[in-house]
Amino acid sequence: MNLHEQFVQLGKQYRNLAHQLGALLPEIYSSGIWEKYAGDIYEYARKYAGMASSTVKIALRLPGKLTEVPRVLEIVKEVGVRKVDAVASLITPENEEKMVERLRTMSKPALIEMGKEMRGTRSVMKIELDEEMQIMFFRLKKKLGLESNREVLRQLLVTPGSNFERKILSAENEGRSVSKPVVRELKSGPCFYCNEPAEIVHHLIRWAEGRAHRELVGVCKICHELCHNGILEKVDHKYQLYRQEALK
């Protein structure tokens, strides 16, 4: 094992332990056992576990936010108090199972991004178009040569501020990885979903279905997670398992 690998492995263990400590703290607090060893719970957590007071605060208020969703509380020891706290207010008994899955498979930045979208959009938003707007809309649809209204709207929402064209490409090469020129072309453009610079080549038609590189797009890292966790696209269970392992 080289130095870097050693560092990474210790880092993982360190985070794992920190998650477990955070999950244990509320019980320590309510039992009152800390009183024997420190002036207050913050001092106790710092003295015995090096926990920052901001983390202690989050750890202690978290159970109160999750009384309706006990399964989420159970995975705090796996993913840590901060990650759960980032989306705690959005979890309901109805979406509990889905959110537990997302907490396991999504990174914190992607969860925060998803949270912003969930707060703004409780369900489907309907836009009314009067006659004039409808005519404009259908003219644009014809001009763009698109079949679906949704796709026209997406183009409209993505286009402002973009100097690039969003591309959907195919690569003819065989094998697992996409040919280099295609990768380069997609990564030099914007994210297919949000216009940030693209970082990853993503298969709109999953590689596992047909083992071909069809309908490839460039996406940023956050949108990529949103794709594979059922927020921008259908859920991809294989990918979730793979990510779950990678985040451990």
The site for Zn ion (CB under 5 A) is made up of: 191, 193-194, 196, 202, 220, 223
Map residue 50 onto helix, strand or coil.
coil
Where do the H-state alpha helices sit in the chain? 3-31, 41-49, 53-65, 70-74, 76-79, 81-87, 96-105, 108-120, 131-144, 149-158, 180-187, 221-228, 237-247
Residue closer to Zn ion (CB basis): 88 or 220: 220
Query: Which residues lie closer than 8 Å to 121 by C-beta, 6 or more apart?
Result: none
Residue 191 in contact with residue 165, Cβ under 8 Å?
no
Residue 81 Cβ vs Zn ion, minimum distance, rounded to whole Å? 27
**In terms of CB distance, is 194 or 212 closer to Zn ion?**
194
Smaller CB separation from Zn ion, 34 or 192 = 192
CB of 138 to Zn ion, least distance (A): 28
CB 103 within 8 A of CB 72: yes
List phi, psi (to 5°) of 170.
-125, 150
**Least distance to Zn ion, CB of residue 80, Å:** 25
Q: Minimum Å distance from CB 204 to Zn ion?
A: 9
Backbone angles phi, psi at 146, to 5 degrees: -105, 150
Residue 83 main-chain phi, psi, to 5 deg: -65, -45
Nearer to Zn ion, 86 or 191 (CB): 191
Strand ranges across the sheet with 200-203: 169-171, 213-219, 200-203
Terminal Cα distance for the chain, rounded? 19
Residue nearer to Zn ion on the CB measure, 96 or 101? 101
Question: In this complex, which beta carbon is closest to Zn ion, that of residue 19 or of residue 213?
Answer: 213
CB of 226 to Zn ion, least distance (A): 8
Tell me whether residue 38 or residue 158 sits nearer to Zn ion (CB atom): 158
Minimum distance, C-beta of residue 135 to Zn ion, in the bound complex (Å): 32
Q: What is the smallest separation between the CB atom of 145 and Zn ion, expressed in angstroms? A: 24
Pick from 158, 227, 222: nearest CA to 195: 158
Task: Say if CB 238 and CB 245 are below 8 A apart.
Answer: no
